Amino acid sequence: MTEKVDKARLEFFMVIFSLAVVPLQLLVCLVLGGVIQAAENKNKSSIFINPAVSLAISSILWTFVKEESVHPMI
């Protein structure tokens, strides 16, 4: 599929995707890392609550994704 797309355009979109994903991932890792380190001394249940909440939010958001039905040509 990438063979059909102009290479410069593909590179542009790959850079935009990387800039949209990587800094956010680093920020989340730093914030949650601090929460987990703070929980090591106090309440360790937050280590399990954070992923559970994230999974619940993801599950809810995935219900809004609609796929186009593909009808085979007859």
Residue ranges covered by each domain of the chain: 25-62
List pLDDT tens digits, range 8-67. 888 898 999 999 999 988 988 888 788 777 776 677 777 788 789 989 999 999 999 887
33's tokens? 């890392």
- Is there a contact between 35 and 46 (Cβ–Cβ < 8 Å)? yes
72, pLDDT greater than 70: no
- Token pair recorded at residue 8: 């410069």
What pLDDT score does 16 carry?
92
Q: Cα separation of 24 and 21, whole Å?
A: 5
Q: Does position 74 have pLDDT exceeding 60, yes or no?
A: no
Query: Is residue 70 very low, low, confident or very high in pLDDT (cuts 50, 70, 90)?
Result: low
Q: Is the dihedral of CA 41, 42, 48, 53 positive or negative?
A: negative
